[in-house]
């Protein structure tokens, strides 16, 4: 589990929150790279929140998308074994179903928040 207590798949590719698989950041990023990209993401999210009109909001959302791709959380997958991206799927409806079923109730519950 992560610091935020979300279950992490055995291969480290996803964490489970709100009963969905969410892709984790690319582990090959250095701490400095990850920190810079997270700062970009947070600034873009603030820009979405603070947008004065639809045009600004659209541009800010594009910045969020760009930052998420740079982190490896969206766009092309960062692993190279050919496994498909299963983001936003319920773990029980994915190749992680056996792992999900084997988790204790408390850990599974943490993935529903």
pLDDT tens-digit series, residues 56-75: 999 999 999 999 999 999 99
**From CA 11, how far away is CA 79, in angstroms rounded?**
10
Whether residues 16 and 35 share a domain: the answer is no
Whether residues 15 and 34 share a domain: the answer is no
Confidence of residue 79 (pLDDT cuts 50, 70, 90): very high
CA distances from 84 to 81, 99, 108 (A): 9, 17, 23
**From CA 25, how far away is CA 47, in angstroms rounded?**
22
Q: Is 51 domain-assigned?
A: yes
Q: Is 44 domain-assigned?
A: yes
Whether residues 41 and 54 share a domain: the answer is yes
Q: Is 19 domain-assigned?
A: yes
Instruction: Give the domain range for residue 19.
Output: 1-24+85-95
**Domain count along the chain:** 2
Whether residues 19 and 54 share a domain: the answer is no
Q: Is 1 domain-assigned?
A: yes
Q: Is 43 domain-assigned?
A: yes
Q: Kindly report the pTM of this predicted structure.
A: 0.87
Residue-wise pLDDT for 6-21, tens only, equals 999 999 999 999 999 9
Q: Is 68 domain-assigned?
A: yes
Beta carbons of 22 and 12 less than 8 angstroms apart? no
**From CA 107, how far away is CA 91, in angstroms rounded?**
13
């Amino acid at each position: 589990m992560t610091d935020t207590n979300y279950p992490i798949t055995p291969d480290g590719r996803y964490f489970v929150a709100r009963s969905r698989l969410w892709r984790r950041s690319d582990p090959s990023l250095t701490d400095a790279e990850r920190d810079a990209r997270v700062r970009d993401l947070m600034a873009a999210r603030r820009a979405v929140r603070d947008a004065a009109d639809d045009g600004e909001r659209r541009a800010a959302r594009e910045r969020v998308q760009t930052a998420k791709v740079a982190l490896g959380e969206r766009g092309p997958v960062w692993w190279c074994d050919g496994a498909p991206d299963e983001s936003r799927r319920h773990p029980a409806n994915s190749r992680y179903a056996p792992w999900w079923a084997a988790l204790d109730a408390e850990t599974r519950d943490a993935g529903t928040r």
